[in-house]
Amino acid sequence: MKKIQISPSILSADFSQLGNEIKRLEEAGADMIHVDVMDGHFVPNLTIGPPVIKALKKQSSMIFDVHLMISPVHKYIEAFSDAGADIITIHPEATDDLSSSIQKIKKLGKKVGVSLNPETKIQVILDHLDKIDLVLIMSVNPGFGGQKFMPEVLNKIKDLKKIQKSKGFDFDIEIDGGINFENSKEAIEAGANILVSGTTIFKSNNGDIKKNIELLKSK
């Protein structure tokens, strides 16, 4: 079984202190940093882009797990790669040609993630699974932090895990949205090995990030 990793979403961090917040996450034992990029078009919210990622990357040696909720995504892949993204995750609905977007990320030497919205079926990525490093299962509709977890996506993780085993693939399974101390266990049991969390990491236990990371990892 893969090691359980926590990828805190900086969407819930103090945006006026982002550099310090990332250092705080690193010291607290975060395995990577989840950066939610939103364009006000693919999702109804706007966040940050490559210049901010580039500035933060200089402050940290952590893995930058960049979740692109932008469309059309293809023409921006290079900019996020140049800015320092280590994992670049895209949504199939945000590109005209999923194959070529996957190829582009790979050519740039980055890890490829593909994300499935709650209503998006595994079938959409079935033919691409041999080229994907990470599947990001959305457990909320993307756009905002602090939403309620959708337990029905756990079955999708279980199905994906079965496919992975039967074909001998090795991609990571990451879950994103509404993760808390209760459902983290179910997500891990279903087969997720990377948990994204914003609200729980930054707001629970009076913002004790270290404790919250440990609690999310413990089964």
The residues of the shown chain that bind ligand DX5, judged by CB under 6 A, are 9, 11-12, 34, 36, 67, 140, 142-143, 145-147, 176-179, 196-200
Whether a cis peptide bond, with omega within 30° of 0, leads into 72 is: yes
Nearer to ligand DX5, 29 or 44 (CB): 44
For Cα atoms 126, 113, 127, give the angle at the middle one, nearest 5 degrees: 15
Q: Which of 14, 31, 36, 170 is catalytic?
A: 36
Q: Which stretch binds Zn ion (CB under 5 A): 12-20, 46-54, 96-104, 174-182?
A: 174-182
In a 13 Å sphere around the CA of 21, the CA atoms on its Cβ side amount to 19
To Zn ion, the closest distance from the beta carbon of 165 in angstroms equals 26
Cβ-Cβ contacts under 8 Å for 124 (sequence gap 6 or more): 92, 116
Q: Which of 31, 39, 65, 176 is catalytic?
A: 176
**CA-closest candidate to residue 55, choices 20, 106, 11:** 20
Q: Residue 141 CB, nearest distance to ligand DX5 (Å)?
A: 8
Contact with Zn ion (CB under 5 A) among 56, 139, 176, 190: 176
Residues binding Zn ion: what is the number (CB under 5 A)? Answer: 3
Q: Does residue 36 belong to the site contacting Zn ion (CB under 5 A)?
A: yes
Cβ distance to ligand DX5 smaller for residue 60 or 147: 147
Residue 36 a catalytic site member? yes
Tell me whether residue 47 or residue 95 sits nearer to ligand DX5 (CB atom).
47
Of 160 and 196, CB closest to Zn ion: 196
113 and 81 Cβ atoms separated by less than 8 Å: no
Neighbours of 155 (CB within 10 A): 10
Residues with Cβ within 8 Å of residue 208, at least 6 apart in sequence? none
Containing H/E element for 37?
strand 33-38
**In angstroms, rounded to a whole number, what is the distance separating the alpha carbons of residues 168 and 130?**
9
Q: Nearer to ligand DX5 by C-beta: 163 or 208?
A: 208
Query: Residue 8 in 3-state DSSP?
Result: strand
Range 124-163, binding Zn ion (CB under 5 A) = none
Residue 198's binding partner out of Zn ion, ligand DX5, none, with CB under 5 to 8 Å set by partner kind: ligand DX5
Active site includes 82? no
Residues serving a catalytic function are 36, 176
Chain contacts with Zn ion (rule: CB under 5 A):
36, 67, 176
